[in-house]
Amino acid sequence: MQNNNDSSGEDELIRLLLKRQSELNSLLEVTRAINKNTPTPTLIQMLEVILKNYLQIGMFRFLIEKSGAYSCISKYGGNIESPTTLNQTWVHLNKIKAPAPLIGHSNAVLSKYNYFIPIYHKNKALAFALIGDFNTSGDMLNNDLNFIQTLINVIVVALENKKLFRERLQAERFQREMELAVEVQNMLVPMREYKEDGIEVGAKYLPHQDIGGDYFDFFRLNETEFLWCVADVSGKGISAALLMANFQASLHGLVAIEDELTSVVERLNKIMIRNTKGERFITLFLAKYNEKTRKLNYINAGHNPTILYADGEAIPLKLGTTMIGAFEELPFLNEGEIDLEPGSLLFNYTDGLMDHELQNVKSWGEEKLLEFVINNGELTPDEFNATLMNYINQVIKGKPIDDITLLTIKIS
């Protein structure tokens, strides 16, 4: 009788050792597959083969957490439930943090299964599995449940690492795109100052983020004429930078063949409509100055009015049209024309100058800006821009909520 008991114990030990060896082999195969960056469907298939053939599990559901809900990524055996039904089972299980029996569970769906296997990491539920048609019992039960939990946990960690790797690649790709967009935008920004007999220009560009939606340009058209533009595109980021690059190319191309500002603006509007399908728009102030006749022609397309300082007065230049890119045909289009006196100063800006966080409306606004221009219109462009920014920093406590562009031009 003693010998029979010893023999039975030895058989059980051998069986346990063989089982452990098989489990280790299975884990080793899965680990090797993970190290080779095996695709997710193949890893799931390996998991199912182990559960079916080695552990003889007849029903299996494997759900993984995604954005606060659970998605079933593996299922076989029995009547397959709907994704919503499976996801809702977590409500009945979310307090269980160790493998637990489900037979006799009050929920009709869960009662069809034998065991629940949760996967947690630092108190965060990452995944869970439902196991049915599983007949192991006795001393081997805990061993099998622990092995199943370990095996699933290895798969979950692998999937999490794949997810993190994809997110890192996406972040690196986005960072590179941002760098390229910054390079594109830097190429759009011309000189910060320009000076020759009869005209002096000073500019400041302060993007709210790495990539802004503002654009300014100033260049000589011919021996007697200059052209400049200040613009603001709706939106920010890479798409705004690319849109501005297209806008700049279109502007330079059009002013080379069109003499009339109205024709330039009309064609820019059609280009914007064609490129953005009305989903983006641009406000702009476009002006042309003739040194010989001293005439300034301009169009304000829904932009903050440029302020003309002359003879101690400040006049906002408002004639023009609505923003471009919003309508197939501009509803109205008026061109302004002014004779500029020696000493005139033209201050162009974008709306970031007027919009700040926690702004005290009494301390800053269009009237205050006009007063500032009157009091400082005799300064050089660079002095004017620097004095204005210092003044704003003193009277406004909040930070700007948008890009700020200043383009100041002195006519002598």
Q: Which residue ranges make up each domain of the chain?
A: 12-167, 189-411
Give the pLDDT of residue 1: 47
Is 230 strand, coil or helix?
Answer: strand
Amino acid present at 249: A
pTM: 0.61
Give the pLDDT of residue 99: 92
Q: Are 270 and 324 a contacting pair, CB within 8 Å?
A: no
Q: What is the DSSP letter of 91?
A: G
328-359 in b/e form (b: 16+ CB < 10 A) is eebeebebbebebeeebbbbbbbbbbbebeeb
Give the pLDDT of residue 137: 67
Q: 246: Cβ–Cβ under 8 A, 6 or more apart, which residues?
A: 271, 275
Q: Cα(3)–Cα(13) distance, rounded to whole angstroms?
A: 15
- Whether the pLDDT of residue 47 is over 60: the answer is yes
Domain 189-411 carries which CATH code?
3.60.40.10
Q: How many CB atoms lie within 10 A of CB 228?
A: 23
Residue 395: pLDDT band with limits 50, 70, 90 = confident
Q: 287: Cβ–Cβ under 8 A, 6 or more apart, which residues?
A: 227, 228, 229, 261, 296, 297, 298, 299, 306, 346
- Whether the pLDDT of residue 182 is over 80: the answer is no
Residue 265: pLDDT band with limits 50, 70, 90 = very high
Q: Cα(27)–Cα(32) distance, rounded to whole angstroms?
A: 9
| Token digits of residue 179 | 């760098």
Comparison of pLDDT for 161 and 174, the residue scoring more = 161
For the residues 107-124, what does the mean pLDDT come to? 92
Q: Cα(389)–Cα(340) distance, rounded to whole angstroms?
A: 26
Report the chain's C-alpha Rg in angstroms.
36
Q: Are 143 and 119 a contacting pair, CB within 8 Å?
A: no
Residue count of the chain:
412
- Smallest Cα–Cα separation from 132: which of 89, 103, 106, 93? 103
- Whether the pLDDT of residue 7 is over 80: the answer is no
- Smallest Cα–Cα separation from 162: which of 29, 42, 23? 42
Give the pLDDT of residue 406: 93
Residue 328: pLDDT band with limits 50, 70, 90 = very high
- Whether the pLDDT of residue 237 is over 60: the answer is yes
Give the range among 80-94, 230-244, 376-390 with minimum mean pLDDT: 230-244
Give the pLDDT of residue 377: 95
| Token digits of residue 133 | 């048609």
- Smallest Cα–Cα separation from 366: which of 380, 379, 349, 345? 349
State phi, psi for 163 to the nearest 5 degrees.
-65, -45
Answer CATH for 12-167 from 3.30.450.40, 1.10.10.10, 3.30.300.30, 3.90.550.10: 3.30.450.40
Q: 208: Cβ–Cβ under 8 A, 6 or more apart, which residues?
A: 236, 352, 400, 401, 402, 403, 404
Q: How many CB atoms lie within 10 A of CB 248?
A: 19
Give the range among 204-208, 245-249, 257-261 with minimum mean pLDDT: 204-208
Give the range among 16-30, 36-50, 337-351, 361-375 with minimum mean pLDDT: 16-30
Q: Cα(129)–Cα(110) distance, rounded to whole angstroms?
A: 11
Amino acid present at 91: V
State phi, psi for 351 to the nearest 5 degrees.
-70, -10
State phi, psi for 243 to the nearest 5 degrees.
-65, -40
For the residues 221-234, what does the mean pLDDT come to? 92
Residue indicated by tokens 């060896």: 21
Q: Cα(381)–Cα(407) distance, rounded to whole angstroms?
A: 8
Amino acid present at 76: Y
Q: Are 100 and 117 a contacting pair, CB within 8 Å?
A: no
Which residues sit opposite 286 in a β-bridge? 229, 299
